[in-house]
A and B are shown apart, each in its own frame.
Chain A
Amino acid sequence: MSARRLLDKLWESHEILRREDGTSLLWVDRHLVHEGSHHAFAKIVERGVPVAEPGLTFGVADHYAPTRGAPATDAIARMIATLAANTEKHGITCFGLDDPRQGIVHVIGPEQGLTLPGLLINCGDSHTSTHGAFGALAFGIGATEVAHVLATQTVWQKKPKAMRINVTGRLGPGVGAKDLALAWIAKLGADGARGHAIEYTGPAVRYLSMEGRMTLCNLSIEGGARFGMIAPDETTFAYVKGRPFAPSGDDWDRAVDLWSELPSDADAKFETEVTMDASEIAPIVTWGTTPEDALPVTATIPDPARMQGSAAERARNALDYMGLTPGRKLTEIAVDQVFIGSCTNARIEDLRAAAAVLAGRRAKVPGIVSPGSQLVKAHAEAEGLDRIFIDAGLDWVGSSCSMCVAMNGDLVEPGKRCASTTNRNFRGRQGRGARTHLMSPAMVAAAAVTGHLTDVRELLKEREVA
């Protein structure tokens, strides 16, 4: 048999059949639904078909979940109530607002052990690639596909091409998975990995914690890839072991044996190969309106006059929207507020990285910190991180997608500039007219302390001296 990649192994183990035209019918092990899935529930009700596998389907309130008090509007409250009603009607476990396991879907799946190596995981959300960090086949789907999974527990899909992003060396101090992700997206473009499943490999990836790996896989879609994945290893197994829905006893041993066979064979070939050196990556910030508009924080704002054709036009539009002047240093950009949260960067390690910068310091601008789940929140409070954020002047709030997607009423006002740990700097993403700069939690904390974009390594250096 020819050498197989992680993607091939995951695909083959879920392929029920393949049509002559090359499309596969795949079995879905875990289907995660949220408030936005209301269209799909409406579709199956319309057809009069039941949910095929309620035991493999899990619901969570996250996109519209309030971070402070009651839902902001009746429409928002209705979205949450509709999810509760739909899941109850179909016999689906739902982590609702009053459940201590509630949080962002891509945080709680792994946290609960619902996400396991070797599984196929679907969710009506493009950041479902996050779960690929465990060596799972995980991808986001639209409402029609969500309805299909609800009705049949299967999904039709053509196998994507495989891209390997191999990262040599080690990330430096103050540089993390977010910087690595933005670095490759800047290099390849926001559609650079379109049509591909990415496997991240190399020593810099192996060295990442599960939190870091989830951040890296989460952002795959921002470079165009519907799938991102990392082969499971001891770090993966250590994270999964003992989680509420993870296998235990003999099953655990059998599972680890099977999972250990998942990594790509040594001589496997990929359609596209990319290599990066982690030691060359600096903390990165975005300056424009797509995640590919990313540069090291040490750089200057790009000048459209030095670009060609449509790139120049696009940069001009982006700078106009962002209210930025070409040629100025990125570190001169003053921010109005900060946001720490989202499925990209709201896990315990992210909160620790931000708190390490903020400890004993005051933020010059307001901001909110929304932990990725209620369990992450409790964990952070047990470590005293909440005090650090509160003492710095930031708001410590509940768990939700919150200001990343601006659906629950948490938003950035028109023209305001936000340093954000989120995943999209699209026009209007955080609210109409909002100006978003994406960066790591440590970099957002640094921007909070100085009131402008800042190289966090300087603030960390001061710490070492003191």
Chain B
Amino acid sequence: MSGWRKHSGLAVALDRENVDTDQLIPARFMSTPRSAGYGDFLLHDMRKDSNGTPVPDFPLNVVPNASVLISRRNFGSGSSREAAVYALVDFGIRVVIAPSFGDIFASNSVNNGLLPARVSEAEVDAAMATLAVGAKEVTVDLTDKTIRLGNTTIEFTLDDVWQQKLINGWDDIDLTQNHQQAILAFRAQHVAGMPWAIPVQQNDFRSAGRDTVSQ
């Protein structure tokens, strides 16, 4: 994953609360290999009618080259499916701006270079009003956590760790492998203290269907 500092692109408003991950990508598309691209699945059942025809006035159909999405509270709530982030990223979205995000979605976003930028409800209201007349160019700066839209500059909230991760495009597996010695030492001490941390498989599992109830 490559890092980034600044992004400029067209912003589009999706004026809805609770845009959950089932809406971001309906489950039926999730058996597709990533290499096939997930962009076409993004918000599929809102963007397209039951015949697969694009809904003309749906924001992402009006501005198909948008790269910044502004929405309302609890964006990305629900399922942990990272495919919701793949759909956004493969469509071309680099930044989502909202008053709040689902915790798992936000962490999945950062793992894929997508910025979940938190701003206040009032700032979303103002941005939506600005975008009501049409898509506008915005500039998002990760280094000072600002969004420039028209004449206004909004500061967004982002965990410092996530800021660094997005800027540097860090890969966690590489980082973690630097701690291999600490991990091995921890494992030894952990298992010594609680041997059941390593499960002992009992051989006669077919009789294991004894009482499955607690009382």
Contact = CB atoms under 8 A, between A and B. Distances in A.
B195 A427 contact: no
**Among all A-B residue pairs, the 5 with the closest Cβ atoms:** A142-B108, A247-B196, A144-B111, A143-B82, A239-B214
Given A426-B20, A428-B45, A78 B199 contact: no
Interface string B155-191: 0000111001000000011011101001100110010
Interface stretch (A112-120, A277-285, A298-306, A332-340): A112-120
Interface residues of B, number: 68
A203 B172 CA distance: 42
A189 B34 CA distance: 33
Contacts, number: 216
Interface of B: 16-18, 20, 22-23, 26-28, 30-31, 33-34, 45, 50, 72-74, 77-83, 85, 100, 102-104, 107-108, 111-112, 159-161, 164, 172-173, 175-177, 179, 182-183, 186-187, 190, 194-202, 205-206, 208-215
B31 A194 contact: no
A56 B199 contact: yes
A140 B80 contact: yes
A153 B175 CA distance: 14
A209 B210 CA distance: 17
Contacts of A255: 194, 196
Contacts of A119: 197
A100 interface: yes
Interface stretch (A15-23, A440-448, A458-466): A15-23
A378 B211 CA distance: 10
Contact of A152 (B74, B176, B212, B214): B176
A169 interface: no
A185 to B, nearest CB: 11
Nearest to A432: B45
A375 interface: yes
A195 B30 CA distance: 27
A392 to B, nearest CB: 22
A379 to B, nearest CB: 5
A8 B111 CA distance: 26
A12 B30 CA distance: 36
B209 A378 contact: yes
A154 B183 CA distance: 8
B201 A191 contact: no
A3 interface: no
Contacts of B196: 116, 246-247, 251, 255
A152 B201 contact: no
A317 interface: yes
Nearest to B213: A348
B119 to A, nearest CB: 15
